[in-house]
């Protein structure tokens, strides 16, 4: 059979789309993942890590609150509803959200695990996916393969057993036989790795160096007006801007998406206090913000770091036994899409050109669409790689696929007047009301 839609990857984003499609009988969809189940970022499942988003921003609730695949439905099915409320989490454990995602992943009929998509072609009528050696045909595609760990150029040659990206932290940090450990990166992942290292009781004598390019160890901004950036109305205003302006605005918004949670920073500070004043011998910690790492070179069993101090302009060096790169994640067109590259429209950075409904521009027939999720930070804005708008994005894609508004996505004008277009509309509306 030919599916109406084939999904590549079953992380939260395609899982949300699958959950939205689950109740639409006329759409036959099939989603594939190479993993054996939904396992949300296992490499960063360190003890005590927390979700940075409200659990209400789950797979479905924002657009489809009666879906059986909500976080609330999961809690009730686990018979955990009262205990969960009584625990009164400020931020919920990431383990709980991962368990919710896995619960949905174990139940949706359209999902196939252990199924790597090796190659995608277009045969003139449909997409032909080679999945674990078999061919699967589909009229439309939804590509949601996540982002790749970002290894900066200066770290490439040093990577190996004792220099690795934080995406593997949970499996590797506790096995490190290293006394001096540098963590490079001042975002949430860097902070979580540092907190974990500071909390290890079995590692006396460890020297930890936390390095960040940012001028300080800065918190995630999740104040109300910043949270307005994570709304569909903001995405609408953002989409309408020229590309250069969008990029400049994203630069200014870095702490809205990539800062460390205040709770994690507080926990680090408290650990530091105890280490400095009550267990001096056990561990030493150097905090080095405002440092731009210029090179990391391996010298025998050691690594030599050279960095520029942005505070006073000096060049500094450090010698350590291990380096953990908390250097973020980056977009890449997946290998399996290579056969379609000549037909797909990419911008000068190699990112898909997307329309408002997350469709990739391509030269195939109009009724054969490629949707890309977690690929539109430059077009749709800061919320794109986050959980916040995943339900809305899924509903937008379903509406586009069906060619009608199955999900009602109309919203009132936002409280903040981002664009002059919106302010002008409001003014003419008010003067019309006044007569």
Site residues (vs ligand FAD, CB under 6 A): 8-14, 32-35, 40-41, 44, 51-53, 116-117, 144-146, 189, 334, 336, 373-374, 385-388
Question: Distance (Å, rounded) from C-alpha 347 to C-alpha 288?
Answer: 36
Residue 189 or 305: the one with the smaller Cβ distance to ligand FAD is: 189
DSSP state of 212: -
Q: In the beta sheet, which residues pair with residue 143?
A: 8, 372
Helix axes 94-105, 12-21, angle to 10 degrees: 40
The smaller minimum CB distance to ligand FAD, of residues 94 and 246, is found at 94
The structure tokens listed for 355 are 């329309």
Coil, helix or strand for 357? coil
In whole angstroms, how close is the CB of 432 to ligand FAD at the nearest point?
Answer: 39
Relative to beta strand 370-372, strand 283-288 is unpaired
DSSP 3-state of 188? helix
Q: Pick the closer one to ligand FAD by CB: 152 or 334.
A: 334
Contacts of 178 (CB under 8 A, 6+ apart): 162, 320, 321, 322
CA 202 to chain centre: 32
- Least Cα distance to 22 among 82, 101, 100, 108 occurs for 108
User: Kind and range of the H or E element at 196?
Assistant: helix 188-199
Shortest distance, position 386 Cβ to ligand FAD, whole Å: 3
Nearer to ligand FAD, 27 or 59 (CB): 59
281 CB-side CA count, 13 A: 0
Report, in Å, the least distance between residue 300 CB and ligand FAD: 32
CB of 16 to ligand FAD, least distance (A): 8
Cβ 186 to ligand FAD shortest distance, Å:
15
Q: In whole angstroms, how close is the CB of 409 to ligand FAD at the nearest point? A: 20
We find the least distance from the C-beta atom of residue 104 to ligand FAD, in angstroms, to be 13
Q: Which is nearer to ligand FAD, 52 or 67 (CB)?
A: 52
Give the E-state strand segments of 24-122 in sequence order.
Answer: 29-32, 111-112, 117-122
CA distances from 375 to 171, 205, 330, 369, 419 (A): 27, 43, 10, 15, 24
Token readout for 424 is 């002008």
Helix-, strand-, coil-residue percentages of the chain, each rounded to 5: 35, 25, 40
Cβ-based nearer residue to ligand FAD, 117 or 296 = 117
Question: Nearer Cβ to ligand FAD, position 8 or 195?
Answer: 8
Please say which residue, 148 or 245, places its beta carbon nearer to ligand FAD: 148
Least Cα distance to 115 among 7, 223, 225 occurs for 7
Nearer to ligand FAD, 130 or 422 (CB): 130
| Residue 75 beta carbon to ligand FAD: minimum distance, rounded to whole angstroms | 18
Nearest approach, Cβ of 390 to ligand FAD (angstroms)? 8
């Amino acid at each position: 059979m030919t599916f109406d839609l084939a999904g590549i990857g079953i992380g939260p984003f395609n899982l949300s789309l699958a959950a939205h499609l689950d109740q639409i009988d006329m759409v036959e969809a099939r989603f594939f993942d190479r993993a054996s189940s939904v396992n949300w970022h296992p490499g960063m499942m360190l003890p005590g890590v927390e979700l940075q988003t409200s659990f209400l921003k789950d797979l479905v609730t924002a657009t489809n609150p009666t879906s059986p695949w909500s976080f609330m439905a999961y809690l009730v099915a686990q018979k955990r509803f009262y205990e969960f409320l009584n625990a009164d989490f400020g931020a919920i454990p990431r383990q709980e959200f991962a368990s919710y995602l896995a619960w949905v992943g174990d139940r949706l009929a359209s999902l196939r695990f252990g199924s790597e998509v090796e190659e995608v072609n277009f045969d003139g009528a449909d997409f032909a996916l080679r999945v674990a050696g078999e061919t699967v045909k589909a009229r439309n595609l939804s590509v949601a393969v996540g982002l790749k760990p970002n290894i900066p150029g200066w770290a490439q040659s040093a990577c190996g057993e004792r220099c690795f990206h934080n995406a593997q932290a949970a499996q590797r940090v506790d096995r490190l036989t290293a006394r001096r450990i540098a963590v490079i990166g001042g975002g949430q992942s860097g902070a979580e790795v540092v907190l974990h290292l500071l909390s290890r009781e079995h590692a006396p004598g460890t020297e930890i160096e936390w390095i960040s390019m940012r001028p300080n160890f800065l918190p995630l901004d999740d104040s109300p007006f910043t949270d307005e950036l994570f709304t569909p109305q903001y995405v609408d205003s953002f989409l309408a801007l020229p590309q250069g302006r969008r990029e400049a605005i994203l630069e200014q918004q870095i702490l809205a998406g990539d800062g460390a949670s205040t709770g994690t920073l507080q926990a680090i500070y408290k650990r530091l206090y105890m280490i400095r004043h009550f267990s001096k011998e056990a561990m030493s910690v150097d905090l080095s913000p405002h440092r731009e790492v210029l090179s990391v070179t391996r010298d025998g069993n050691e690594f030599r770091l050279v960095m520029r101090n942005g505070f006073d302009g000096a060049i500094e060096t450090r010698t350590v036994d291990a380096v953990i790169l908390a250097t973020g994640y980056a977009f890449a067109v997946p290998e399996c899409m290579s056969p379609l590259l000549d037909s797909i429209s990419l911008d000068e950075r190699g990112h898909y050109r997307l329309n408002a409904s997350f469709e990739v521009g391509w030269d195939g027939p109009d009724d054969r669409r490629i949707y890309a999720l977690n690929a539109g930070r430059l077009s749709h804005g800061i919320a794109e790689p986050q959980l916040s708008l995943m339900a809305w994005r899924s509903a937008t894609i379903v509406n586009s696929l069906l060619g009608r508004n199955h999900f009602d996505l109309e919203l009132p004008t936002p409280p903040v007047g981002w664009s002059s277009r919106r302010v002008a509309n409001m003014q003419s509306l008010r003067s019309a009301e006044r007569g």
